[in-house]
């Protein structure tokens, strides 16, 4: 008698566990369906942005409202003068191999400064280079600042070692104020700048494995439910 009671107790505990597992796995499957919808909407928004006509770069009044979801990869355009050239080298790995992005501060006609990612170079450029004479107009994609570092390393401004495009830290190192919280990935230009950095290498790729996750969690939910039904029938 005691053994039968103990057996029923174990089956009830197992049934409860399977019920909870079914609910949890079902919830995770639904959550991944929602995440997949959000990711597809993001991809659609970005596709629209990168093919839209360029707009004026957001001025300081708009900076507090800038977010990755609402603004990144917008095509923007600025006109102004470079304050430093050729730019600060920031560690990069691209389809062309390892090298550096060149981040140069541009003082815009709108009265603020924005860093421009002038493109990719495979080797460190000369320490100084004359900036283009007169004003320049830059068109490219708005990118959100990358604070901290990258490649599992922290930025080291004192030593001139940069692993991410951190606009606030770059501005502080250059002694600049009124710098935008974003930078501009310069678009590819034709003909390319002689002996200049390679532009147009912005990688626009979003991992979208949510359907796989949906199927995985749904399968686990079905398996748990099937086991629950079997346990209840034995019970």
Lowest-confidence range among 137-141, 191-195, 203-207, 229-233?
191-195
- First vs last C-alpha separation in the chain: 15
Please, are residues 175 and 128 in contact by the beta-carbon 8 Å criterion? no
Residue 151 phi/psi, 5-degree rounding, is 55, 35
- pLDDT surpasses 80 at 8: no
Question: d(Cα 14, Cα 16) in Å, to the nearest integer?
Answer: 5
| DSSP conformational letter for 175 | T
List the chain domain ranges.
Answer: 2-47+209-234, 74-186
Q: 39-50 pLDDT, tens per residue?
A: 777 677 777 787
β-pair type (113-121, 97-108)? antiparallel
- 165 and 207 Cβ atoms separated by less than 8 Å: no
Say what the pTM is. 0.74
Q: What is the DSSP string of 108-140?
A: ETTS-EEEEEEEEESSPPPS--PPPSS-EEEEE
- Distance, C-alpha 228 to centroid of its chain: 42
Q: Are 93 and 70 in contact (CB under 8 A)?
A: no
Contacts of 178 (CB under 8 A, 6+ apart): 60, 111, 112, 113
Sequence-ordered list of residues with C-beta below 8 angstroms from that of 126, at least 6 positions apart, any chain:
86
pLDDT, mean over the chain: 86
pLDDT tier for residue 6 given thresholds of 50, 70 and 90:
low
In tens, the pLDDT along 51-60 reads 889 999 999 9
Integer Cα distance of 27 and 25 in angstroms: 5
d(CA 235, CA 228): 10
């Amino acid at each position: 008698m005691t053994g039968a009671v103990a057996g029923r107790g174990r089956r009830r505990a197992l049934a409860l566990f399977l019920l909870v597992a079914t609910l949890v796995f079902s919830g995770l499957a639904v959550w991944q369906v929602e995440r997949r919808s959000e990711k597809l909407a993001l991809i659609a928004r970005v596709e629209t942005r990168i093919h839209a006509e360029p707009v004026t770069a957001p001025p300081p009044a708009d900076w507090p409202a800038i977010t990755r979801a609402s603004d990144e990869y917008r095509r923007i355009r600025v006109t102004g003068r470079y304050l430093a050239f050729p730019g600060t080298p920031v560690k990069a790995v691209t389809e062309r191999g390892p090298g550096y992005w060149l981040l140069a501060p541009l003082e815009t006609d709108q009265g603020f400064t924005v860093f421009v990612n002038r493109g990719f170079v495979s080797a460190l450029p000369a320490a100084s280079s004359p900036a283009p004479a007169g004003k320049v107009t830059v068109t490219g994609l708005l990118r959100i600042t990358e604070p901290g570092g990258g490649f599992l390393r922290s930025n080291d401004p004192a030593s001139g070692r940069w692993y991410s495009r951190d606009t606030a830290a770059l501005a502080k190192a250059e002694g600049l104020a009124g710098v935008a919280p974003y930078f501009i990935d310069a678009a590819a230009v034709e003909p390319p700048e002689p002996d200049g950095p390679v532009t147009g290498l912005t990688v626009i790729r979003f991992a979208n494995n949510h359907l796989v996750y949906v199927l995985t969690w749904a399968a686990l939910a079905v398996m748990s439910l099937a086991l629950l039904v079997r346990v209840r029938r034995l019970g």
